[in-house]
Structure 1
Amino acid sequence: MSKESTESKQTRLCGLCDDKPSKYCCPRCEIFYCSLDCYKSEKHEGCSESFYRECVNEELASYQVGDDAKTKMIDILKKMHENEDDHVDEIENVEEIDSDDGSEIDLHTRIQDLNLDDPDALWNALTEDERNDFEAMLNQGDVGTLIPQWEPWWLFTKEKKLIDDVKESNEETEALKKCPEIKSVPKFTSLTTVKPSPAIRFNMANIVASYAFIMRYFNGEIEPMEAGSYLLEICTNLNSNNNFDDPESAVESVAQRCLQSELIQTDEASLDVMRNDTLQILQGPSEENKLHYTKATFSHVIQIFTDTKSLCRRNKMDLKDNSNNKGMFSRKFPEHNKNHLPNIDISKVKKVIKKLEYYLSFLDSCDNQV
């Protein structure tokens, strides 16, 4: 009987198209289906119409957010609703789509006063159908497609011309406004009287490459503890004081660390983007402001570790896993909390901040030479 049962499962047709072999089972109605297209089809509309709606909540809930981010998230949810209900001309018709579940029409109301840093609070606000839809989408790996692609602040590059173009000068001014604020640090001569090693330039490239990868990896949304952990994971200059003899090895070290890390899932295409981003940051927005992007990078990394240090102190007692204090979401999806992150040594973070300030001070003294 077990053999027949196994063969039956392997040959069971999709219950929605009755054509292709089924691969998945709907967590709510338990119908077997073959693909996302069938799952979202009109035949399965009763289960799937709110499929994408709440997934963004968890993605954004893992970050520190304010009113602007909350408004942005609500806008995303509205757009998703419009996209998946393209047979409905007006969004006010949502009530007709699922008249037996009036809770869907007050989605805005249900989330507007919630703390988006608390995934358990968001989970508790969902209906049972919405939770099932979220789990189905999470299992299929489609959540990331709903998040708007972040545009890095270092992409602007001014072309070299014999005569400056007023329009390009204005574009550069606007581009620089998007950069992280450059921090003030002590003068380099006040920090040391020893001439730095030539390796300092290559070591800084190792940090820039690590930062560029992390910013893309988290789509520009940085949570200090997580970002600090990942930076230490892939940046050997900050983590273990490794020195490099050339910029190529400094950047390739980051690529190899990303591929070897248990925390990170990446591919060669993403690493090629990292290499290009590193070059753009080091080249700067223009010949006149060649160091601006690099200074902005180090300033942001300093801020990340400064915030990490503060959080380590404030949340020292909460870093250990305590299942008794977990909510329903945290228990159901343990892989989405931060307990997978390695413990951060506050004393190491302090040393890292000092090193970063040293590098930034060195940049200030370089007179537009990297």
Structure 2
Amino acid sequence: MEPAGLCGFCPAGDAQPARYTCPRCNVPYCSLRCYRAHGTCAEDFYRDQVLGELRGRHASPSRLAGALRRLRQQRETEDELEDAGPSPGPAPGGLSGLWERLAPADRAAFERLLSRGECAPAVPARIPTLASLSRGRPSPLVRFQLPNVLFAYAHALALYHGGDDDALLPDFCTTLLGVSGALGAQQVFASAEEALQAAAHVLEAGEHPPGPLGTRGAMREAARILLGQGPEHQKNFTLAALGHLAQTLGRARKQAASPEERDRLYRARKKCQFLMAWTNENEAALTPLALACAGAHRAQAAAAEEVAALTGELERLWGGPVPPAPRTLIEELPG
């Protein structure tokens, strides 16, 4: 992280480079000691955001998720400072005790949001039937488009903070349709593993921005979405994700400048609606897909661990992160 200037709380003449800034007043600070010297300004800022979202039911679920995400990030910052070493003086009430200081009504409201799934997109109220979208029986390969789409959805959602910011909407859709061949290029896959690897290869090739999940994280999230909330409500997460995608693509289509882009977004939106109808009528197929995604995630993790082990062994032999300079085996003597 680039320094944000000099710390505003260090003793005069001994100011250290500041790695952090208070989200409320933008005062820079360098360490846990100076963070504590600043009082509860940052804590109060995030606490007010969370409570405001809890109490303001008109606010979108994505804003609540954003507030909670920023709160977690601030807590991680404090943990990072704590790991850097001890500092004198007791904390005046760190973020780790925020839950305990919430009023009982606020805790209950937050628990209701989690239990009802209100922090995530809702299941669409109206889902078309497959018969209304297709004259014939869908191909058995349709199911393998879901892992590809959900991989790209998880990646774009994490990268663009929920996909609900209009300013980020074009980038969200460009990444989504670029990573998901099923949506952007009408690709067909013969297995869940092939569908996931196709999306992973796009990211690994550097054609689109890397996200916080990475390829393994996106595979894991695709499996979690397909598993849903258990046997009784398994399809809900997948339906909610596809519904959110269809809505987002529809919004983006209204903003698109060129007919070609509007047509591309229209086709992707129709594909999401078709997959939503298929999912609604084929819930039993989701568990095998989820298990295949989980298996692909495990294989990817095992391969990464093997590469890390080999890299570590090579660095041990080299005595550093790069190989030693080649030695000259035969040197011509001057005549």
TM range (shorter): 0.5 to 0.7
Q: Which has the higher contact order (CA 8 A, sep 6+)?
A: 1
Helix, strand or coil for the counterpart of 1:233? helix
For 1:240, the aligned partner's letter is A
Helix, strand or coil for the counterpart of 1:288? helix
Q: 2: CA distance between counterparts of 1:89 and 1:240?
A: 52
User: In structure 2, do the counterparts of structure 1 residues 196 and 90 end up closer, same or farther at CA, with 3 Å as the change threshold?
Assistant: closer
Q: 2: CA distance between counterparts of 1:276 and 1:47?
A: 40
User: Partner residue of 1:350?
Assistant: 266
Instruction: Determine whether 1:88 maps to 2:33.
Output: no
User: Partner residue of 1:234?
Assistant: 179
Which of the numbers 260, 265, 271 marks the counterpart of 2:215?
271
Instruction: Determine whether 1:366 maps to 2:277.
Output: no
User: In structure 2, do the counterparts of structure 1 residues 244 and 171 end up closer, same or farther at CA, with 3 Å as the change threshold?
Assistant: farther
Q: Which runs of 5+ in 1 are unaligned?
A: 1-23, 29-35, 55-72, 93-145, 151-169, 317-342
Using the size of structure 2 for normalisation, the TM-score is 0.54
- The equivalences for 1:131-170 within 5 A come to 147-149=70-72
CA RMSD, aligned part only?
A: 4.1
Report the CA distance between 1:86 and its aligned residue.
3.7
Instruction: Determine whether 1:182 maps to 2:123.
Output: yes
Q: 2: CA distance between counterparts of 1:257 and 1:263?
A: 7
Which of the numbers 15, 21, 27 marks the counterpart of 1:53?
21
User: Partner residue of 1:141?
Assistant: none
Q: 2: CA distance between counterparts of 1:250 and 1:365?
A: 21
Matched length? 217
User: In structure 2, do the counterparts of structure 1 residues 53 and 354 end up closer, same or farther at CA, with 3 Å as the change threshold?
Assistant: same
Q: 2: CA distance between counterparts of 1:203 and 1:44?
A: 61
Report the CA distance between 1:47 and its aligned residue.
8.2
Q: Is the 8 A contact 2:4 2:20 kept in 1?
A: no
Report the CA distance between 1:229 and its aligned residue.
0.8
User: Partner residue of 2:137?
Assistant: 195
Q: 1: CA distance between counterparts of 2:240 and 2:215?
A: 22
Using the size of structure 1 for normalisation, the TM-score is 0.49
Instruction: Give 4+ residue runs of structure 1 displaced > 6 Å after superposition.
Output: 38-41, 78-82, 170-173
Which of the numbers 178, 203, 227 marks the counterpart of 1:283?
227
Same amino acid, percent of matched pairs: 16
Helix, strand or coil for the counterpart of 1:345? helix
Q: 2: CA distance between counterparts of 1:230 and 1:185?
A: 26
Q: 1: CA distance between counterparts of 2:281 and 2:178?
A: 29
Report the CA distance between 1:355 and its aligned residue.
1.3
Report the CA distance between 1:203 and its aligned residue.
0.8
- The equivalences for 1:179-328 within 5 A come to 179-183=120-124, 184-220=126-162, 222=164, 223-265=168-210, 270-313=214-257
User: In structure 2, do the counterparts of structure 1 residues 46 and 79 end up closer, same or farther at CA, with 3 Å as the change threshold?
Assistant: closer
Q: 2: CA distance between counterparts of 1:274 and 1:203?
A: 15
Q: 2: CA distance between counterparts of 1:275 and 1:286?
A: 19
Q: Which runs of 5+ in 2 are unaligned?
A: 42-68, 74-110, 287-335
Q: Is the 8 A contact 1:302 1:356 kept in 2?
A: yes
Report the CA distance between 1:44 and its aligned residue.
7.1
Q: Is the 8 A contact 1:291 1:369 kept in 2?
A: no
Q: 1: CA distance between counterparts of 2:136 and 2:29?
A: 58
For 1:244, the aligned partner's letter is F
Report the CA distance between 1:149 and its aligned residue.
4.9
For 2:246, the aligned partner's letter is I
User: Partner residue of 1:121?
Assistant: none
